[in-house]
């Protein structure tokens, strides 16, 4: 697989995932714009995640039936329209429906990863997946600060319009660089969806990897959802730009993705996975102590509290990104073995 194509797919996946978490940092101005109550405002961040979950189950399997490029382009085009609709929504109901579709189409990120794996040579597959996964996680980590910065300049509607423009550019680029490949599956859509449960039930390795990644992403989500609220409150009292700058520090964890891919190519994935899990636990422990004033530590009086939280962010991101990358190789192998059988 050519390095230029790998870099292009890494950049594309980073842009595609940007809108998924943007609503988390824009909830306050969006809720104020529509006059939503505090409880209803929670739907702003929840709807994209519900859509993303639905997309993983209903849209991503379509690449096994139809041409991958056609499915990707249709999904990205729908995402561009949904982002523009969210930016122009006159009511909360229309915005929430648009946000759901935005999340639904963001599942295209999980079409890019198997595409990259299929195009790569077997000996270099881990490194290619690692590079693409680094793009994905950089996009995840940039999602909140980029949304906050754009909203501070152009408002939350401007943030969604900006995402729509860059996603349209990615859609055009994918039309030019993604090869048209025929799919071998002869299953109907119903049979394909049903086979997901069969594969999960019959493959212990897939079960283990799915459980580990769910737990790691749970820790990741808990940290990055709670930290902005913590930093906005005393004693930190950071604004949107300060919180965005803090989130940028977490991008340092993305450097581990190519390293994890390299380890997978050399059959060191089990050891590397254990190290990744240790990082998640250690980073969460640091956040537990230094972010909440436990074990005698008081963030109100200790000036190093913010730096220690940055360290916790980097360590958690190292572990989560490493686990996400390492889990792709055995999971893809399990699915291919099942499909061949």
pLDDT tens, residue by residue, 208-240: 888 888 899 888 888 877 777 777 777 777 776
Over residues 39-91, the pLDDT tens digits come to 788 888 889 999 999 999 889 888 888 888 889 999 999 999 999 999 999 99
Q: What's this model's pTM, rounded to 2 decimal places?
A: 0.77
CB atoms near residue 197 (< 10 Å): 9
CA–CA separation, 106 vs 102, rounded Å?
Answer: 6
pLDDT at 89: 93
Give the separation between CA 313 and CA 223, rounded to whole angstroms: 8
pLDDT tens track for 7-27: 888 899 999 999 988 887 788
In a 13 Å sphere around the CA of 171, the CA atoms on its Cβ side amount to 19
Residue with tokens 């881990």: 126
Residue 122 has what DSSP assignment? G
- Report how far apart, in Å, the C-alpha atoms of 158 and of each of 87, 241, 308 are: 7, 16, 34
Q: Which long-range contacts (CB under 8 A, 24 or more apart) does 288-296 make?
A: 291/226, 291/227, 291/230
Burial 304-339 (b: 16+ CB within 10 A, else e): ebbebbbbbbbbbbbbbbbbbbbbbbbbbebbeeee
Residue pair 144/224 in contact (Cβ under 8 Å)? The answer is yes
Are 42 and 170 within 8 A, CB to CB?
no
Superfamily of domain 1-184: MFS general substrate transporter like domains (1.20.1250.20)
Count of beta carbons in the 10 Å neighbourhood of residue 240: 20
Distance CA 101, CA 79 (A): 7
* Cβ within 8 Å of residue 138, ≥6 positions away: 14, 251, 254
Give pLDDT tens digits for 145-185.
888 888 888 989 999 999 999 999 999 998 888 877 655 55
Distances (CA, A) of 6 to 3, 90, 120: 5, 40, 9
Domain ranges of the chain: 1-184, 203-341
The residue count for the chain: 341
């Amino acid at each position: 697989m050519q390095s230029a194509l790998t870099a292009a797919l890494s950049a594309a996946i980073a842009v595609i995932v940007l809108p998924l978490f943007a609503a988390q940092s824009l909830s306050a101005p969006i809720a104020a714009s529509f006059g939503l109550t505090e409880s209803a405002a929670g739907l702003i961040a929840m709807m994209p995640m519900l859509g993303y979950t639905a997309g993983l189950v209903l849209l991503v399997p379509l690449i096994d039936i139809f041409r991958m490029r056609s499915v990707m382009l249709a999904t990205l085009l729908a995402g561009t329209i949904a982002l523009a609709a969210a930016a122009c929504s006159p009511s909360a109901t229309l915005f929430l429906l648009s946000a759901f579709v935005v999340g639904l189409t963001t599942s295209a990120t999980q079409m890019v990863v198997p595409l990259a794996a299929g195009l790569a040579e077997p000996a270099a597959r881990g490194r290619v997946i690692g590079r693409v996964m680094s793009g994905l996680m950089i996009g995840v980590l940039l999602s909140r600060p980029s949304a906050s910065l754009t909203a501070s300049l152009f408002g939350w509607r401007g943030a969604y319009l900006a995402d729509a423009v860059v996603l349209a550019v990615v859609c055009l680029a994918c039309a030019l660089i993604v090869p048209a490949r025929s799919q071998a599956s002869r299953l109907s859509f119903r049979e394909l969806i049903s086979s997901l449960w069969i594969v999960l039930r019959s493959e212990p390795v897939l079960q283990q990897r799915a459980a580990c990644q769910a737990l790691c992403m749970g820790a990741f989500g808990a940290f990055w959802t709670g930290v902005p609220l913590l930093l906005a409150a005393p004693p930190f009292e950071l604004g949107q730009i300060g919180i965005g700058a803090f989130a940028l520090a977490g991008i340092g964890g993305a450097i581990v993705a190519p390293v994890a891919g390299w380890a997978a190519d050399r059959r060191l994935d089990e050891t590397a996975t254990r190290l990744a899990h240790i990082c998640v636990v250690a980073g969460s422990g640091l956040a537990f102590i230094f972010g909440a004033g436990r074990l005698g530590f008081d963030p109100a009086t200790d000036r190093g509290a913010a730096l220690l939280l940055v360290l916790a962010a980097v360590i958690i991101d190292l572990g989560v990104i490493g686990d996400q990358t390492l889990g792709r190789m055995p999971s893809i192998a399990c699915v291919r073995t099942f499909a061949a059988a």
